[in-house]
């Protein structure tokens, strides 16, 4: 469900709506909006607090139906936790839980006063943007290959207004655009690999470009890439019946002579591991191995929808990594587009092999101001950082600082890992310029070291999103990260 967002200027006790949303802290302290509702309803909320039916635990929800003295049909009371420790992350959480509760009620719209809650260090525009994005995230449903459940049985929650002044309009506009990018990324990554293959991603990119005046799209097939010398990328795709594509979207929102920023995203639409076959359990999740591609495409969509005054390119190398009689093998030596040779020690370390050619091509073709790549690159990063933070690597301290700050602002956080030359020796090879893996230790970092060899002279950073791009398990879905981080980084560039 795509939510429609707006701003509202009304009093919570008199607004005409199927539901108003207010907050209560753990100690029974009511927010100003909850206090107004409570006063109009002759203490209805405080009585529930005193009885223990409303405990204020962060994310808990309670519905009061048709309370006397209140115009709204329902009041959704959301627990905010401790007021002393209330912060940005908690604010995001309570808005997610509020939207989930609203989605379970038989109503089409609601008005929320949660964006009126004080969050230390955050203004009204940030609060509305974050609340809207959290709500849209919670409202997302995957339906592409699923029959509707109980269609037409009850109204579907479709629109949410936030009580805020005109100063929050910028945040709301940004939220609408970023939410579209996040949904684009989530939908693409959630699709099964028999639908979402390299050609499908290329078609989606082309359709987006055709629908937007300032956007162009270039797609290279395997024949064109062979002529150009994409030896590393093409080797990875040799074992699949679904042929590789290199997809490049270009947005011209800035001056004609202004160099673009560049995103590059790993687009392995299914990763069986190739000859170095992965274990069977959990292999279905390898449809998410194009999460980097989905993320940078979503970031691109967000930038276009916001109409940011800059130039941006988004490059996606897309392949399937499958075992076959023509698959590349451990022991093979590949010649990359850069001319550097690579000894393959493990065919399941394929993401870096397609990214290296894409990074070289992006730098040569566009001479960008900065290159950010995103990839579900290493299990080692999941072990190091879990599902909470993306791994960030860069030799450029200023660029790393920009991305870390963007992640904090967008609540799409990253953590910087070292990219010291000390680690480069782990890639030494007797038979090529270097190998594609560096051994068991520091796997996420040596993957970054590998990519750094293809970015000489470039202002470049790498995001390993293997832990953050999707939620594990049979019901796990794509998260849409790092769309919000990338969008915020671009917003910051326009404000600088």
| pLDDT at 473 exceeding the cut of 90 | no
Nearest CA-CA partner of 285 in 457, 58, 472: 472
Domains of the chain by start residue, with CATH: 4-165 (3.40.220.10), 176-495 (3.40.630.10)
Q: What is the percent of the chain with per-residue pLDDT over 90, rounded to a whole number?
A: 96
pLDDT at 148: 78
Burial class (CB in 10 A: 0-12, 13-18, 19+), 11: middle
Please tell me the predicted confidence (pLDDT) of residue 155.
87
Query: Per residue in 238-295, pLDDT tens?
Result: 999 999 999 999 999 999 999 999 999 999 999 999 999 999 999 999 999 999 999 9
Q: Using pLDDT thresholds of 50, 70 and 90, give the confidence band for residue 88.
A: very high
pLDDT score at 116: 95
Structure tokens at 411: 């609540």
Question: Can you give the pLDDT at residue 496?
Answer: 76
The pLDDT of 131-137, averaged and rounded, is 98
Quick one: pLDDT at residue 147?
Answer: 86
- Which pLDDT score is estimated for 64? 97
Task: State residue 152's pLDDT score.
Answer: 66
CA distances from 257 to 106, 250, 307 (A): 53, 14, 18
Characterize 421-455 residue by residue with b for buried, 16 or more Cβ atoms within 10 angstroms of its Cβ, and e for exposed.
eebbebbeeeebbbbbbbeeebbbbbbbbbbbbbb
Least confident stretch, 18-32, 152-166, 180-194: 152-166
Residues whose CB falls within 8 Å of the CB of residue 302, separated by 6 or more in sequence, listed in order: 177, 178, 180, 181, 182, 483, 486, 487, 490
* pLDDT score, position 216: 98
Cα–Cα–Cα angle for 129, 131, 136, nearest 5°? 95
* 414-431 pLDDT tens trace: 999 999 999 999 999 999
Nearest to 394 by CA among 320, 341, 448, 334: 448
Cβ-based neighbour number of residue 5 at 10 Å: 20
What whole-number distance in Å separates Cα of residue 350 and Cα of residue 352?
6
Instruction: Tell me the two tokens of residue 346.
Output: 């493990």
Contact of 387 with 481, CB cutoff 8 Å: no
Q: Which two tokens stand for residue 422?
A: 């000390």
Nearest CA to 304 out of 184, 399, 162 is that of 184
Contact yes or no for 303/253 (Cβ under 8 A): yes
* 3-state secondary structure (DSSP) of residue 451: helix
> Percent of the chain, pLDDT > 70?
99
**434 Cα distance to chain centroid:** 32
Give the pLDDT score at 430.
Answer: 98
pLDDT digits (tens, 9 = 90+) for 324-333: 999 999 999 9
Give Cβ neighbours of residue 75 (< 8 Å, ≥ 6 apart): 19, 20, 21, 22, 37, 41, 44, 45, 63, 64, 67
Mean of pLDDT over the chain:
97
Angle subtended by helix axes 44-51 and 32-40, to nearest 10: 110
- What span, in angstroms and rounded, lies between the C-alpha atoms of 419 and 394? 6
Q: What is the pLDDT of residues 11-67, one digit of tens each?
A: 999 999 999 999 999 999 999 999 999 999 999 999 999 999 999 999 999 999 999
Helix (H, G, I), strand (E, B) or coil at 180: helix
pTM of the model as a whole: 0.97
Q: Which active-site residues does the annotation give?
A: 278, 352
Q: In terms of Cα–Cα distance, which of 413, 488, 468, 401 is closest to 126?
A: 488
| pLDDT band at residue 102 under the 50/70/90 scheme | very high
Which region among 146-150, 188-192, 320-324 has the lowest average model confidence (pLDDT)?
146-150
Q: Which pLDDT score, from 0 to 100, does residue 151 have? A: 65
The count of other CB atoms within 10 Å of the CB of residue 280 is 7
DSSP assignment letter at 260: P
């Amino acid at each position: 469900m795509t939510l429609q967002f707006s701003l509202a200027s009304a009093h919570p006790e008199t607004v005409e709506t199927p539901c108003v949303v207010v907050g209560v802290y753990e100690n029974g302290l009511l927010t100003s909006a909850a206090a107004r509702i409570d006063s109009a309803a002759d203490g209805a909320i405080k009585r529930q607090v005193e009885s223990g039916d409303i405990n204020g635990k962060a994310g808990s929800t309670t519905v009061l139906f048709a309370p006397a003295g209140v115009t709204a049909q329902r009041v959704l009371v959301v627990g905010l936790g401790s007021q002393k420790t209330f912060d940005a992350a908690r604010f995001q959480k309570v808005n997610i839980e509020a939207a989930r509760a609203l989605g379970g009620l038989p109503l089409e719209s609601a008005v929320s006063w949660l964006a009126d809650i004080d969050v230390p260090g955050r203004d009204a525009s940030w609060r509305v943007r974050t609340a809207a994005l959290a709500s849209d995230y919670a409202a997302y449903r995957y339906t592409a290959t699923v029959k509707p459940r109980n269609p037409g049985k009850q109204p579907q929650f479709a629109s949410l207004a936030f009580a805020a002044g005109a100063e929050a309009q910028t945040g709301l506009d940004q939220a609408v655009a970023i939410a579209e990018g996040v949904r684009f990324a989530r939908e693409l990554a959630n699709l099964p690999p028999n639908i979402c293959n390299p050609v499908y991603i290329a078609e989606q990119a082309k359709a987006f470009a055709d629908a937007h005046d300032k956007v162009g799209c270039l797609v290279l097939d395997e024949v064109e890439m062979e002529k150009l010398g994409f030896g590393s990328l093409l080797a990875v795709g040799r074992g699949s019946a679904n042929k590789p594509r290199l997809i490049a979207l270009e947005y011209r929102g800035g001056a004609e002579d202004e160099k673009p920023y560049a995103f590059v995203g790993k687009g392995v639409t299914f990763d069986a591991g190739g000859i170095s076959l992965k274990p069977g359990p959990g292999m279905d999740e390898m449809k998410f191995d194009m999460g980097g591609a989905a993320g940078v495409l979503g970031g691109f969509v967000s930038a276009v929808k916001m109409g940011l005054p800059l130039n941006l390119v988004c490059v996606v190398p897309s392949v399937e990594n499958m075992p076959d009689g023509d698959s590349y093998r451990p022991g093979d030596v590949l010649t990359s587009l850069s001319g550097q040779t690579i000894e393959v020690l493990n065919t399941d370390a394929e993401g870096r092999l397609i990214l290296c050619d894409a990074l070289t091509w992006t730098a040569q073709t566009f001479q960008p101001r900065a290159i950010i790549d995103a990839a579900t690159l290493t299990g080692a990063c999941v072990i190091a950082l879990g599902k909470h933070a993306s791994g960030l690597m860069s030799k450029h301290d200023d660029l790393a600082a920009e991305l870390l700050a963007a992640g904090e602002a967008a609540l799409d956080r990253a953590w910087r890992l070292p990219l010291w030359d000390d680690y480069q020796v782990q890639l030494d090879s007797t038979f090529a310029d270097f190998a594609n893996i560096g051994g068991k230790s520091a796997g996420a970092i040596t993957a970054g070291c590998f990519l750094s060899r293809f970015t000489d002279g470039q202002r470049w950073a790498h995001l390993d999103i293997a832990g953050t791009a999707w939620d594990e398990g049979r019901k796990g879905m794509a998260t849409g990260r790092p769309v919000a981080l990338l969008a915020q980084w671009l917003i910051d560039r326009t404000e600088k």
